[in-house]
Amino acid sequence: MRLSRFLPTSGKVRAGLIIAVFFVLLAVFGPLLTSYSPQASGTDLLQPPSGTHWLGTTQTGQDVFAQFVYGARISLGVGLVAGILSQIVSVLVGVIGGYFRGLSDDLLYILTAVFLVVPGMPLLIVLTGYLPSRGMVSVAFVIAITSWAGSARVLRAQTMSLRRREFVEAARATGESRTRIVFSEIMPNALPLIASGFLFSVIGAVLAEAGLSFLGLGSLTTTSWGSMLYFAQSAQAFLYGAWWWFVPPGLAIAVLGAGLALINFGIDEYSNPRLRTGRSRARAVRSRGPHAAALSTAGASAAASGAETPGVATILHDDAPDETVGSVPAGAAPAPPQIRELDVPGKPIIEVRHLKVDYPGADQVVHAVDDVSITLHRGELLGLAGESGSGKSTLTNAITRLLRNPAQVTGGSITYHRSARGRPSGPTTGGSEAEVEAIDLLGLSTEELRAYRWDELAIVFQSAMNALNAVTSVGAQFDDVLRVHRPTMPAREREALARTMLEKVGIDPGRVSAYPHELSGGMKQRVAIAIALVLEPDVIVMDEPTTALDLLIQREVLDQVMALRDEYGFAIIFTTHDLSLLLEVSDSIAVMQRGRLVEYGPALEVYAEPRHPYTRALLASLADMGALV
Ligand SMILES: Nc1ncnc2c1ncn2[C@@H]1O[C@H](COP(=O)(O)OP(=O)(O)OP(=O)(O)O)[C@@H](O)[C@H]1O
């Protein structure tokens, strides 16, 4: 296993780690580099840096370098101890309160709120004033007491969200004890927050110690960066031009703070693996087509700044047969794609030509969409079928321009044929619309995209449960769309439109004020469809819109969609694993396997005479299950 896999890919994180390690080494080994004691006075008063005194001397002849390296021990030590103590309190208060709730949470929350509203520095000054001794441990202790609340509040919120997740429910159902759930289910998921809170506590503690010492409230018999600044200030080092006295500790505090903040990027990288692909993205952007750069500004900037050595990429989705499907015998050459002529009445509205979309990873490139060409006509329902991972979502995300990093469009085009407004009355009349312009979808700017989405092309996501905002009413969610796309529409008209659309999808218009949790799964999906239809788009992309629903509700929702299509004449790209459902509702079918289009043509023909072994295997498996009659 290569060590490089564990190293952060981001330059910022590496810089942060270098800074932090440098200061830790300085604190541990720095005192070995000097023979001077930090407190010992000498005869060379206020001397600038020289071979004898590397960082010069103070007004009383003390060696500044010795003070600096011994001070690093104290400042970092206080930061570390205060950071650990503060995080322990945060975790106890945040996780216990957030998980166990009830009275303990109420009390802990009040305590947190009190500490949050009391200004930190004045509280620190007051508490330090009452300390019996100003030793560094007691200073660290006081800093910890005043700095835990912010992190505890964030942890409490995260714990409250985690405790309702399925994996925690599952652990509860299997009989795991509450303590075990907290330590083995909640804590690992909250770890990035705890680590990031710890780093910020350390930065805060180093700054607080410097602040206290600078005000003369720290331990003035111990040398720290803060006490160096205090003595430099009281001896008017600035006026004497003795920069060597105050610049090193001041700069060290600033650089250390920046370094720890940079490491926080690494924590983000760890907790969100999608951020780990910066290097390969840059590589891909450099070596691939023009759209790659256009679609990934993050990738582009990484490419501009990165000078990484391109590695050898393993190419997935090669011509090896898919043994998991069982449709092609191992070792056999893959069957050629089976593309049939389509006889659909409407004019083309979306033309995808030789589209290629890759996901560059650290060691390999996944060709998620590989040379795919399909045409969606006005009023047509195109069914997109294929096993999980075959590239359906990547293809529809490319069409809706919702691809996320690290996806890269590396070839091909997507053209949208915009029409004059004024909708045809049904799918068969789609050809009557005059085309206004052909738009290169991959070249749309962010502003143009905003207008294109929803006005021209709307999306119904897989899970309405997640697609609807849980904290706003149904009416407000219609409003979100209408405010952006119809800014001059008065509020009363917006509400009337929302009611009309709800009625069209079979929901009582009175539910316009309902919240998502007050609706059933089927109703939520209908609301999502109604919101997609509100601007009367030409195309609706439905990504497994009925998967989460039971069979009866699936059927009702689909019937509704078909009736609305007859009324509005929009075209649909419908993605699902359920081939039998697709065959029933689609005009045309596109079957994908491992990123490639393997069969494409009119639904009835594909059903009656599947030509590709993969399609035959899919249909045969359906027949085995009795899904096809
Ligand atoms: N963010 C990503 N990073 C790397 N690879 C990805 C990413 N998203 C998808 N892939 C890969 O791209 C390929 C196609 O995935 P995609 O989600 O498009 O398939 P799908 O047919 O829509 O699957 P499903 O039906 O399960 O949603 C898969 O091999 C998947 O592992």
Residue at 510 is within a domain: no
Domain range for 559: 277-456+537-629
Q: Which has the minimum average pLDDT: 165-169, 177-181, 321-325, 502-506?
A: 321-325
Structure tokens at 525: 């999906």
Report which ligand 1 atom has the smallest distance to the Cα of 277: 3
310 and 257 housed in the same domain: no
Residue at 525 is within a domain: no
Q: Is 393 in the pocket of ligand 1 (CB under 6 A)?
A: yes
Q: Which amino acid is at 456?
A: E
Residue at 58 is within a domain: no
Residue at 483 is within a domain: no
155 and 299 housed in the same domain: no
Angstrom distance (rounded) from CA 439 to CA 434: 15
Q: Is 462 in the pocket of ligand 1 (CB under 6 A)?
A: no
Find the CATH number of the domain harbouring 124: 1.10.3720.10
Atom 29 (ligand 1): residue with closest C-alpha?
Answer: 389
| Whether the Cβ atoms of residue 540 and residue 532 lie closer than 8 Å to each other | yes
What are 41-72's pLDDT values in tens digits?
988 999 999 999 999 999 999 999 999 999 99
Atom 24 (ligand 1): residue with closest C-alpha?
Answer: 388
352 C-alpha to ligand 1 centroid (Å):
19
| Whether the Cβ atoms of residue 267 and residue 192 lie closer than 8 Å to each other | yes
Give Cα separations from 512 to 359, 461, 530, 555 (angstroms).
Answer: 41, 20, 11, 24
451 and 585 housed in the same domain: yes
Residue at 49 is within a domain: no
397 C-alpha to ligand 1 centroid (Å):
11
266 and 384 housed in the same domain: no
Q: Is 211 in the pocket of ligand 1 (CB under 6 A)?
A: no
Q: Is the pLDDT of residue 550 over 80?
A: no
Please state the φ and ψ torsions of residue 288, each to the nearest 5 degrees. Answer: -120, -175
393 C-alpha to ligand 1 centroid (Å):
7
Residue at 141 is within a domain: yes
What are 252-283's pLDDT values in tens digits?
999 999 999 999 877 877 776 666 554 544 44
431 and 371 housed in the same domain: yes
| Whether the Cβ atoms of residue 548 and residue 556 lie closer than 8 Å to each other | no
Angstrom distance (rounded) from CA 198 to CA 90: 10
**Is ipTM over 0.95?**
yes
Atom 5 (ligand 1): residue with closest C-alpha?
Answer: 359
Q: How many domains does the chain have?
A: 2
Report which ligand 1 atom has the smallest distance to the Cα of 395: 18
What are 551-600's pLDDT values in tens digits?
677 777 788 888 888 888 899 999 987 778 788 889 999 999 999 999 99
Handedness of CA 24, 28, 29, 30 (dihedral sign): positive
Parallel/antiparallel/unpaired status of strands 571-575 and 539-543 = parallel
408 C-alpha to ligand 1 centroid (Å):
13
Indicate the residue among 214, 245, 271 that finishes a domain. Answer: 271
Residue in 272, 218, 252 with CA at minimum distance from that of residue 72: 252
Helix (H, G, I), strand (E, B) or coil at 575: strand
The packing angle between helices 11-29 and 64-100, to 10°, is 120
| Whether the Cβ atoms of residue 344 and residue 377 lie closer than 8 Å to each other | yes
∠ CA 264-269-274 to the nearest 5 degrees?
A: 155
Q: Is the pLDDT of residue 126 over 50?
A: yes
152 and 248 housed in the same domain: yes
DSSP letter for each residue of 202-235? HHHHHHHHHHHHHTT-S-TTS--HHHHHHHHHHT
Indicate the residue among 271, 305, 339 that finishes a domain. Answer: 271
263 and 308 housed in the same domain: no
Please state the φ and ψ torsions of residue 167, each to the nearest 5 degrees. Answer: -70, -30
Atom 30 (ligand 1): residue with closest C-alpha?
Answer: 389
pLDDT, position 314: 36
80 and 198 housed in the same domain: yes
Q: Is the pLDDT of residue 440 over 90?
A: yes
What are 184-220's pLDDT values in tens digits?
889 888 888 899 899 999 999 999 988 888 888 877 7
95 and 188 housed in the same domain: yes
234 and 310 housed in the same domain: no
Find the CATH number of the domain harbouring 355: 3.40.50.300
Q: Is 391 in the pocket of ligand 1 (CB under 6 A)?
A: yes
Residue in 162, 174, 164, 125 with CA at minimum distance from that of residue 145: 125
258 and 297 housed in the same domain: no
Query: 356 falls in which pLDDT band (50, 70, 90)?
Result: very high
Residue at 125 is within a domain: yes
292 and 441 housed in the same domain: yes
Q: Which has the minimum average pLDDT: 26-40, 307-321, 458-472, 525-539?
A: 307-321
Indicate the residue among 271, 289, 318 that finishes a domain. Answer: 271
Q: At 356, which helix (H) or strand (E)?
A: strand 348-360
595 C-alpha to ligand 1 centroid (Å):
9
Q: Is 386 in the pocket of ligand 1 (CB under 6 A)?
A: yes
CB burial of residue 2 (10 Å; 0-12, 13-18, 19+): exposed
Atom 22 (ligand 1): residue with closest C-alpha?
Answer: 393
Residue at 25 is within a domain: no
Q: Is 388 in the pocket of ligand 1 (CB under 6 A)?
A: yes
